[in-house]
Structure 1
Amino acid sequence: MVRSRKLVLGFGTALCLLGIYVLCFNQETPLSSSKVPMKTFYHLTHKHNSDLPDSEDLLDQEEINDQSNTFSTLDSKLSVEPEPKEDSIVPNVPDVPKVPDSSDVPKSSSKSDGVGKTRTSTKGPPLPQPNADGPTEPSYIGDTYMSEILPPQTNCTDGIQRRVAETEFGRRFLKYIPVVQWHQHVTPERYQRLSKYPGTHGWGGIDYKTLVETMSFLNSSANQQMLDDWKDRRIKSECIRCAVVGNGGILKGSNKGKEIDSHHYVFRTNGAIIKGFEQDVGSRTTHYTFSTNTLMNSMRTYSGAGYKSPPKSDETRYIFLPDHDRDYLLMKAAATHTKVERGREKNKDPLMYFGEDVSAKKLKIYHPDFVRYLRNRFLRSHTMQTKFMNIYRPSTGAVMLLAALHTCDQVSAYGFMTPDFKKYSDHYFDNVYHPVGFFVNHDFRMELSLWQQLHKAGLIKLYMG
């Protein structure tokens, strides 16, 4: 009897211990991020921003699932190793010969078509840090950039480049950072440096062979400069005036079309539907910014509203925002008038997007140093301190507007978020009111604040409705 009681007691104890173990195991096993919908991603990290809008360049669910496996965690105090020197060697980079370290000193100048001089890198004035005694930068920040000295295109006495030093943005602004990349920027040294950074912020995930083959077609001064045809437009003007047009509902009924078209250059992005809305948004497009992902999403999402393809005209340039190799592959196909050779757009004909007249001289692609600089110095969101830091970037519209800030003398912005955004539908082409949404890959609260600050500083003129 005693032995039976002991056996029962021992068996019961074992069952209890097994139950406790299973319970603890289940509590400690995290959910797979690939199973969590985008809205859940958002609530995990942006609970206090639930009323903010999103743009048309959201990552689709498949892309978030693809990138979720590469997320890294970051201590809330940013207590990680400091940023290495810019040109330090990255081990195990495939197909690229190793090179010795180089310091941030000017190299011999290189010229092509009589345009510009290139230096290895530049590091701007350090930004204020909360803890001067500890590590100031986690390694993924990379606040060191290439520098390229191009001759000024105007002698505008009231241009942004001259006025910015007198504003609060003077310490953030780097005058000589290249906005777009071209074939001379691709070197083994730069590949080793930039392959450390994923997505739009570097060449991580792009194999060197694809990069070299694609960029070899961007080999003229037209590819090196954002405003490559200014000498043909200048007429009597000493200042370059640019209109940057977002797709916000604030433009509906604005009657700003003629004013927008009166600028020398007109920038648009993503689902830029023009037909039927010319009175409010204008009809010209000189620069169209997009990524392959946002282009495909726009064509799928806004086809019912009239968006069939990017704007097409003789003056239109197409500026890729490279999220990954999809963008380089589509750009190569467009430059060569061939079908996309592989990837998610395999066998797609780029001429259906950009027209029969597209050529390599009409194509540009943002420099990853420039996009990382915008993230680090203008839109440094708290999302960068979370496991979602690899998918966070400035929105496509934000990159477009800040690119204009770095290339034009005067910038007017239309259709961007203002503090009263709830009064307006998500897009100017919406037939009925649609509230705007918000997701983790952008920080629209910070972007809204930045537009207000730039407007107050006199660096942009923001249409406020």
Structure 2
Amino acid sequence: MIRRRRVIFMSLAVAFATFLYTCGNNNFIYFESLQRNKQCACSFCTSNEDDDPWFTQRYKQFIEPLLTRSNSALSKEVYSWWQSLQFASHRANYTAVIEKLFKIFPDNPQVMDTEPDLCRTCAVVGNSGNLLGSHYGKLIDIHDFVFRMNKGPTKGFETDVGTKTTHRVIYPESAVDVDNSTHLVLAPFKTLDLQWLISAFTTKDIKRTYKNVRTTIQANKNKVMVLHPAFMKYVYESWLQKHGRYPSTGFLVLVLALHVCDEVNVFGFGADKNGNWHHYFEKVRNNAGAQEHGRNFENEITVQLLTKMKIQIFRGW
């Protein structure tokens, strides 16, 4: 069905180009340049060679989102910023921790190669209460990648949030079990988070960070990925202009999706139709984390991405 829609789109594109040509060469040249710079087979590709200045100022194409042994050395600026997020008691020998990390987990995490004739689609599924009653489940599940974050469940909410999860992004304090086919993606806000990941698959002796955490977790260790601290700093500085103290998990995943997918659709972000900020799986509504994450500014940037046709947002109302 998806391939059929792409064939239909290309046929329409050819017809539209012919129409523009009959209306004047200048219009035809403009349309031709858009097609030449397309880097994927989607109707709209996230990143093009010739792009909006607002977007290109923020989007750094060659940033590496995932941590590997070969790119694990941190610059002084990155290390200093990353360490500033941590309590003194959470600091450790980073180099030694990295050595242990890549003795256990994959050293070459793969997402998906880009090709001009592919359209890699991402669903970034947040935890907003605006998902309730949305009936987005089937729409979410048709995407190539479905990113979920923290403890957002699918069981009991399948009609609204779907069942498919390809990547679950967590940190120790929000850890949940994942099935064998799902990539567990750690967002490390401190060195202790890396140590916890190691411990959860080996000794199981880390029981507390700044609060009690799970000592073990069910996940396929061959599918574990770790966000790069430099990528987290890039999101904070380039996209959020240093608003808040650090990016929310949701915004980190949104920018990650911009880097690995050709088409990005966002679900479960923002307030509900009544302006309330709450999780779809919680009865108690709260606004925790608003100041730490600079949530209002994150929302503004997300809306800008929508306006500039870099993403689509599904609000459920």
With structure 1 as the length reference, what TM-score do the two structures score?
0.53
Pair 1:426 & 2:312 matched: no
Pair 1:251 & 2:127 matched: no
Check whether the contact 2:92–2:192 (CA below 8 A) recurs between aligned residues: no
C-alpha separation in 2, matches of 1:348 and 1:449: 34
What is the aligned residue count?
Answer: 270
Shift of 1:442: 1.1
Shift of 1:448: 1.1
Q: Which runs of 5+ in 1 are unaligned?
A: 1-153, 296-308, 384-391
For residues 449 and 193 of structure 1, do their structure 2 counterparts lie closer, same or farther at Cα, with a shift above 3 Å needed? closer
Shift of 1:380: 1.9
Check whether the contact 1:167–1:457 (CA below 8 A) recurs between aligned residues: no
1:443 is aligned to: 294
Pair 1:160 & 2:46 matched: yes
C-alpha separation in 2, matches of 1:425 and 1:445: 12
2:8 is aligned to: none
Check whether the contact 2:207–2:215 (CA below 8 A) recurs between aligned residues: no
Aligned-residue CA RMSD (Å): 3.0
Q: Provide the identity percentage.
A: 26
Check whether the contact 2:270–2:277 (CA below 8 A) recurs between aligned residues: no
Check whether the contact 2:136–2:162 (CA below 8 A) recurs between aligned residues: yes
Shift of 1:333: 3.3
TM alignment of 1:26-65, pairs within 5 A: none
TM alignment of 1:254-265, pairs within 5 A: 254-265=134-145
TM alignment of 1:107-256, pairs within 5 A: 155-156=40-41, 158-162=44-48, 165-166=51-52, 168-187=54-73, 190=74, 194-199=78-83, 205-207=91-93, 208-221=95-108, 223=109, 225=110, 227-228=111-112, 238-256=118-136
The one-letter code matched in structure 2 to 1:330 is W
Check whether the contact 1:340–1:347 (CA below 8 A) recurs between aligned residues: no
Check whether the contact 2:136–2:161 (CA below 8 A) recurs between aligned residues: yes
Shift of 1:347: 11
Check whether the contact 2:69–2:102 (CA below 8 A) recurs between aligned residues: yes
- Please identify the structure whose Cα radius of gyration is greater: 1
Check whether the contact 1:183–1:215 (CA below 8 A) recurs between aligned residues: yes
Between stretches 283-292 and 164-173, larger displacement belongs to 164-173
Give a deviation string over 1:134-169, Cα, whole Å, max 9, x none.
xxxxxxxxxxxxxxxxxxxx8446421227723521
TM alignment of 1:31-110, pairs within 5 A: none
Secondary structure at the aligned position of 2:231 is classed as: helix
Task: Choose which of 233, 247, 263 in structure 2 pairs with 1:394.
Answer: 247
Give a deviation string over 1:283-308, Cα, whole Å, max 9, x none.
1110111111233xxxxxxxxxxxxx
C-alpha separation in 2, matches of 1:247 and 1:333: 28
Task: Choose which of 297, 317, 321 in structure 1 pairs with 2:183.
Answer: 317
With structure 2 as the length reference, what TM-score do the two structures score?
0.75
Secondary structure at the aligned position of 1:168 is classed as: helix
Task: Choose which of 203, 227, 236 in structure 2 pairs with 1:366.
Answer: 227
Q: Which runs of 5+ in 2 are unaligned?
A: 1-38
Shift of 1:422: 3.8
Check whether the contact 1:161–1:409 (CA below 8 A) recurs between aligned residues: yes
Shift of 1:341: 4.4
Check whether the contact 1:270–1:289 (CA below 8 A) recurs between aligned residues: yes
1:266 is aligned to: 146
C-alpha separation in 1, matches of 2:198 and 2:214: 12
Shift of 1:192: 5.0
Shift of 1:319: 0.7
For residues 338 and 318 of structure 1, do their structure 2 counterparts lie closer, same or farther at Cα, with a shift above 3 Å needed? same
Secondary structure at the aligned position of 1:161 is classed as: coil
Secondary structure at the aligned position of 1:369 is classed as: helix
1:278 is aligned to: 158
Give a deviation string over 1:265-295, Cα, whole Å, max 9, x none.
1000012111110000001110111111233
Shift of 1:238: 1.2
Check whether the contact 2:58–2:238 (CA below 8 A) recurs between aligned residues: yes
C-alpha separation in 2, matches of 1:206 and 1:396: 23
Check whether the contact 1:268–1:289 (CA below 8 A) recurs between aligned residues: yes
Check whether the contact 1:200–1:371 (CA below 8 A) recurs between aligned residues: no
Shift of 1:429: 2.2
